[in-house]
Amino acid sequence: MTSTPGSPQVSPNDPCPFLRALVAHGLLADDVVSVGEVTKTIVNVASAGDGQPQLPSSAIRAIALVANGLSPLQVVRNGLGGLRLSELRNGPLDKKGAGSRVLDASARIDTAELARLDDFASDKTDADGHVERGLDLAELRRMMDANFERAAERRRGVDRWLMNGEWPILLKVMGKLGKLGRYLSTTEVRDLFVERRLPERMSRRLTGG
């Protein structure tokens, strides 16, 4: 697994590519973060995306509260003690192979699954006229449907619904505004998963550069 030299380690039990990048960038602790802090950080990072995307803090807070367990006791524990990022694996949001499978159960990159993303992508032209491979919302939906479909023996009904809070939100946050609309650059998706790196333009805005 590749990682940026000197960047913080990320627990293999954190399966979220976006949270993994925030940890690697030093924006979130790898183990426990208060629900308020994780919400504020995600909203702030999102606003560094193209067009200053606004994520609803109430929805993020709700996800952070249930992410380690759905029982009232577990929800109270997250509310008082914080979200445990290094214990998301096997929690209620873990789709156990019903997602893209780019990260395996030990958070190692599956290169064949990473390459498969391109099956759903097409050529996109960015604002500067540069052509690259990318995924728009319709293409992401096709990929999510295919991911759900191929996991027929192990998926839960809720998994397809959970996906709507993953790839489309990533599109909103990390998407580039191309000539024909918003898309996720497959190169930037690769950097997020493999290098745990946010797009350069976002890090620049975050550090005020």
Spatial distance between the Cα atoms of 180 and 15, rounded to a whole number of angstroms: 32
Structure tokens at 206: 């975050």
Q: Candidates 87-95, 104-112, 134-142, 200-208 — which segment interacts with ligand HEM by CB under 6 A?
A: 87-95
Helices (H), the chain: 17-24, 35-46, 57-66, 72-81, 111-120, 137-150, 157-163, 167-174, 186-190, 200-206
Is 33 an interacting residue with respect to ligand HEM (CB under 6 A)?
no
Q: 3-state class of 32 per DSSP?
A: strand
CB of 117 to ligand HEM, least distance (A): 10
Quote the CA–CA distance of 75 and 183 in Å, as a whole number.
Answer: 35
- Determine, following the binding rule CB under 6 A, whether residue 191 of this chain makes contact with ligand HEM: no
User: Is 114 a binder of ligand HEM (CB under 6 A)?
Assistant: no
Tokens 């990260």 sit at which residue? Answer: 103
Total of residues contacting ligand HEM (CB under 6 A): 23
Radius of gyration of the chain (CA): 17
> Is residue 107 a contact point for ligand HEM (CB under 6 A)?
no
Q: Nearest approach, Cβ of 39 to ligand HEM (angstroms)? A: 7
Query: Would you count residue 49 as binding ligand HEM (CB under 6 A)?
Result: no
Minimum CB distance to ligand HEM smaller for 131 or for 158: 158
Interface ranges with ligand HEM (CB under 6 A): 15-19, 38, 42, 60, 63-64, 67, 88, 93-95, 99-100, 102, 166-167, 169-170, 173
